[in-house]
Chain A
């Protein structure tokens, strides 16, 4: 069946089987940053932002995405011009094998758009369903806190301005 949706701002038609999940369908058309690490809807590696909310694409039938606005990791920065969240993950050595990272960054983006100045507890709750086996979560949590400061501090969003909430909290610097 054909599914029409918007991926990263581009109207897209995806050919997918009836039972196909959205992660497999997105990967099939080249969005390889969507990762699959479990048998569906558990590990968080496939998180994308669907109509403004971070969700696991693998836990969702592709047909349910009909008409949706989907944002994947490919819509954030490029290698030469990273999004502030991506840059913060790099700067904090928050990436090891990296397999869970695109999903975690999409969740962080969702969190920071709603909660521009999250506490450590709020960050940990947000990424609670993102399994990371390498980092012990310590550095990703620090990276997300710092990214909040970067997004908040100077409006340096490089993703076309979708980082809402800039300037809502005082003092942008959460660097440890």
Chain B
């Protein structure tokens, strides 16, 4: 395979001719929107109503089943454990498994050289095919590149025995020099992690002589000319972000077995069932059709499960032992050997006139992808392609990124996907510019940010689909206005104590909704004779409430009660194809497929009702479980249609509706973040009094769930501003092993978060919806940095923001 090409937003690069088609995009604001898509609030029966979350009753009673809860169905279940590298860089010189193998209850010990262990190179990144991530990993490794790299795997009768056996494996290493810092790794004399021939499916800009797995960039206009102009002020700032852990409470867990039809079933806690099925099939050289990936309830993902992180190990052990095998990671493994957010240094540069015209804007990111390159290039691309289009009116724009391998655990997708790093740099930078030039920070932004009808070229300047996109919905003005009111922007009162200083700061953000030109969702609606429906959908609910949103969308179309829809999702044997839960795509892409499937079924229902009522289809519609005539008021129930269609005398039909959805569109949702902080100028201690975040997600399909997404994302963003993240000692050992090391902001330590939904109508989304789950992840670090700057005049650019850093700056 030749080298992969650039795609900034997680797309594939397999279609060389795709770019040519981009130029033909219709830049008019009008889209072919069906009449039923735009409903006034009072017309909505299911959409934007507070429908109870589909799985909540099972969740609050403890009856919902996550992967580990399937254990009891397998009396002969074997338990897996993994032996991981103790050194940050080296080669396994000798592996003695004899003691482990001779232990009672040990069923199999696998090494990199075992027959059942694939030796193919692959990436764990759960992306479309071929993945825009390098194939640089192996399931078990002779060459190890971080403390935690898997070397051997054990299956045993119980977990304790497996754990003991893993401990009994003796490993001798040939140790190599290691490098942990991206800047150091990106130099000529740093130790090399890879020989170029170690890697297949290489990514654009790779230079393994300098540990660079990818380099990408793009520009519009001429930034250099803008910097040279006499009437512009050039500012340059540099920002640094943490290695954040997903820390989802359910551990990575997979249960693999072979069923009564000799097919391999993988029950797994994943965001990407279809990608995982394909990746397992390729890795183990098993036909895709012979693998079934089933997603039960998932205890959180946040991108950490947008990857085939653990599945190959229980699969290999299952093949080796002929027994069902479960592998449940430990929390220590979660922090040390799963995935995390790419830590980055991001430089921002601008040219701005005295009057506040932004003539040029530039970001450069140096990203530490860790030992392997999963999601490395695409996350880095999003540092520019998500935040920078906010200011689509700026004519000269440049973005570049270098993505570097180091001897630290590999990183991966995480909620926000590069946008948090870019947003910190961009929104912190603009605040500094506004202060330096004595401009109002909000007005500076408002003069340049996008509005409905704009043609944005920035998102596509690195290539990819949607190179020029029309902004069809934009609620930024209202987000800013309502956020200012909620935080009391102009009414901040200073505390009485002289050493306490209060300040507010703000930041804006844009994300996308799905990967432009690289998404697919499928759905099928099957009518039952009692007028109820089965909704089969590939879309993946990882705790977000997606299944509920799907039901609401289908019920709105079908005119039935939501309780009359049985939703079945994310089982590759029984549900249509779907790319998975990532890139804020689920409601927009999978939800649109659901809408199409429901519309297809509805068309058939109306045909049957037309015959039954003797009235033309044109006067018929559905509501409240009936088909009624707008002309005569006559009606038949959906149940009557159901029975007639299946058991009718003359002709019969199973009413099946199908829909698949794919698009080049990726409309941005928007967020305006406000942070209110009090800082003690003697100690540097600070307290966040309140966070307010106003989000334009189009029409919220379920406002309660949408608010929940916003608050959870904002809390994760707050953590990114205040937590050290995962740190390492000099020998590359992670210093975080459990939640109490990780300094996760607890309930008592977390500020109250006010979420505000700003409704716009996105004509390309189902009933006007666009995404919500990621955009509020991007904004607290800059808003808090800006608020502290406002309160006490010091600027913290290196996350996390700590009392010590503030105190140090105050004493300068």
Whether chain B is bound by chain A comes out as yes
Complex contacts, B300 vs chain A, CB 8 Å: 96-97, 99, 133-134
A97-B543 CB under 8 A given contacts A43-B249, A138-B752: yes
| Complex alpha-carbon distance, A5 and B248, angstroms | 32
Q: Are the CB atoms of A128 and B747 closer together than 8 Å?
A: yes
Looking at the complex, which of A61-69, A77-85, A148-156, A167-175 is the stretch in contact with chain B?
A77-85
Q: Are the CB atoms of B249 and A99 closer together than 8 Å?
A: yes
B712 within 8 A of partner (CB)? yes
Complex contacts, B738 vs chain A, CB 8 Å: 38-39, 42
Q: Are the CB atoms of A139 and B707 closer together than 8 Å?
A: yes
> What per-residue 1/0 map shows which CB atoms of B41-82 lie under 8 Å from chain A?
000000000101101111111111110110010000000000
Complex contacts, A101 vs chain B, CB 8 Å: 59-60
Complex contacts, A86 vs chain B, CB 8 Å: 60-61
Q: Which of B707-741 contact A (CB under 8 A)?
A: 707-709, 711-716, 718, 737-740
Q: Are the CB atoms of A90 and B712 closer together than 8 Å?
A: no
Query: How far does the Cβ of A79 sit from chain B's closest Cβ, in whole Å?
Result: 4
Q: Which of B224-257 contact A (CB under 8 A)?
A: 246-251
The 7 A-B pairs with the shortest beta carbon distances in the complex, nearest first, are A33-B62, A97-B543, A136-B715, A98-B59, A99-B299, A93-B704, A73-B62
B542 within 8 A of partner (CB)? yes
Complex contacts, B57 vs chain A, CB 8 Å: 79, 82, 90
A136 contacts which of B53, B330, B714, B740 (Cβ < 8 Å)? Answer: B714
A105 within 8 A of partner (CB)? yes
A45 within 8 A of partner (CB)? yes
Complex contacts, B331 vs chain A, CB 8 Å: 37-39, 42-43
Complex contacts, A132 vs chain B, CB 8 Å: 249, 747
Q: Are the CB atoms of A93 and B543 closer together than 8 Å?
A: no
Complex contacts, B750 vs chain A, CB 8 Å: 124, 136-137
Tally the A-B contacts, defined by beta carbons under 8 Å. 178
Query: How far does the Cβ of A136 sit from chain B's closest Cβ, in whole Å?
Result: 3
Q: Which residues on A are within 8 Å of B, measured CB to CB? A: 17, 19, 30-39, 42-43, 45, 72-74, 76-79, 82, 86, 89-90, 92-102, 105, 120-121, 123-125, 127-141
Of chain A, the residue at the smallest CB distance from B752 is A138
Q: Are the CB atoms of B708 and A134 closer together than 8 Å?
A: yes
Complex contacts, B299 vs chain A, CB 8 Å: 35, 37, 97-100
Q: Are the CB atoms of A134 and B251 closer together than 8 Å?
A: no
Of chain A, the residue at the smallest CB distance from B50 is A93
B250 contacts which of A30, A37, A39 (Cβ < 8 Å)? Answer: A37
Q: Are the CB atoms of A93 and B72 closer together than 8 Å?
A: no
Q: Are the CB atoms of B53 and A90 closer together than 8 Å?
A: yes
A43-B62 CB under 8 A given contacts A32-B69, A128-B748, A130-B747: no
Q: Jot down 17 A-B pairs with beta carbons below 8 A, ordered by A.
A: A32-B69, A37-B249, A72-B62, A82-B57, A90-B53, A94-B708, A97-B248, A97-B250, A98-B543, A105-B60, A120-B752, A121-B748, A124-B747, A124-B748, A131-B744, A138-B711, A139-B708
Q: Which of B608-652 contact A (CB under 8 A)?
A: none
Q: Which residues on B are within 8 Å of A, measured CB to CB? A: 50, 52-53, 55-66, 68-69, 72, 160, 246-251, 297-300, 302, 330-332, 542-545, 704-705, 707-709, 711-716, 718, 737-740, 744, 746-750, 752-753, 755
| Complex alpha-carbon distance, A36 and B64, angstroms | 14
Query: How far does the Cβ of A25 sit from chain B's closest Cβ, in whole Å?
Result: 13
A19 contacts which of B56, B63, B160, B705 (Cβ < 8 Å)? Answer: B160
Of chain B, the residue at the smallest CB distance from A96 is B543
Complex contacts, A37 vs chain B, CB 8 Å: 249-251, 299, 331
Complex contacts, B56 vs chain A, CB 8 Å: 89-90, 95, 98
Q: Are the CB atoms of B711 and A136 closer together than 8 Å?
A: yes
Known: A39-B737, A94-B708. 18 other contacts (CB 8 A): A31-B62, A32-B72, A33-B62, A33-B63, A34-B62, A36-B68, A36-B251, A78-B61, A86-B61, A95-B53, A96-B709, A97-B249, A97-B297, A98-B56, A99-B250, A133-B248, A133-B716, A136-B718
A74-B160 CB under 8 A given contacts A98-B56, A124-B748, A137-B715: no
Of chain B, the residue at the smallest CB distance from A34 is B62
Q: Are the CB atoms of B707 and A93 closer together than 8 Å?
A: yes
Q: Are the CB atoms of B747 and A98 closer together than 8 Å?
A: no
| Complex alpha-carbon distance, A97 and B66, angstroms | 10
Q: Are the CB atoms of A90 and B52 closer together than 8 Å?
A: yes
Complex contacts, B740 vs chain A, CB 8 Å: 42
Q: Are the CB atoms of A97 and B752 closer together than 8 Å?
A: no
Of chain A, the residue at the smallest CB distance from B301 is A97
| Complex alpha-carbon distance, A32 and B65, angstroms | 8
Q: Are the CB atoms of A98 and B708 closer together than 8 Å?
A: no
Q: Are the CB atoms of B63 and A136 closer together than 8 Å?
A: no
| Complex alpha-carbon distance, A62 and B544, angstroms | 34
| Complex alpha-carbon distance, A71 and B712, angstroms | 29
Query: How far does the Cβ of B562 sit from chain A's closest Cβ, in whole Å?
Result: 15
A98 contacts which of B297, B714, B744 (Cβ < 8 Å)? Answer: B297
Q: Are the CB atoms of B249 and A133 closer together than 8 Å?
A: yes
Q: Are the CB atoms of B62 and A133 closer together than 8 Å?
A: no
Q: Are the CB atoms of A73 and B61 closer together than 8 Å?
A: yes
Q: Are the CB atoms of A93 and B53 closer together than 8 Å?
A: yes
| Complex alpha-carbon distance, A22 and B301, angstroms | 27
| Complex alpha-carbon distance, A78 and B55, angstroms | 13
| Complex alpha-carbon distance, A137 and B62, angstroms | 19
| Complex alpha-carbon distance, A99 and B297, angstroms | 9
| Complex alpha-carbon distance, A42 and B737, angstroms | 11
Complex contacts, B61 vs chain A, CB 8 Å: 33, 73-74, 76-79, 82, 86
| Complex alpha-carbon distance, A68 and B708, angstroms | 37
| Complex alpha-carbon distance, A73 and B737, angstroms | 28
A138-B249 CB under 8 A given contacts A79-B57, A82-B60, A131-B744: no
| Complex alpha-carbon distance, A104 and B302, angstroms | 21
Query: How far does the Cβ of B273 sit from chain A's closest Cβ, in whole Å?
Result: 16
Complex contacts, A136 vs chain B, CB 8 Å: 711-716, 718, 750, 753
| Complex alpha-carbon distance, A2 and B72, angstroms | 20
* B160, B247, B711, B737 interface centre (most CB from chain A within 10 Å): B711
* A99, A134, A140 interface centre (most CB from chain B within 10 Å): A134
Query: How far does the Cβ of B69 sit from chain A's closest Cβ, in whole Å?
Result: 5
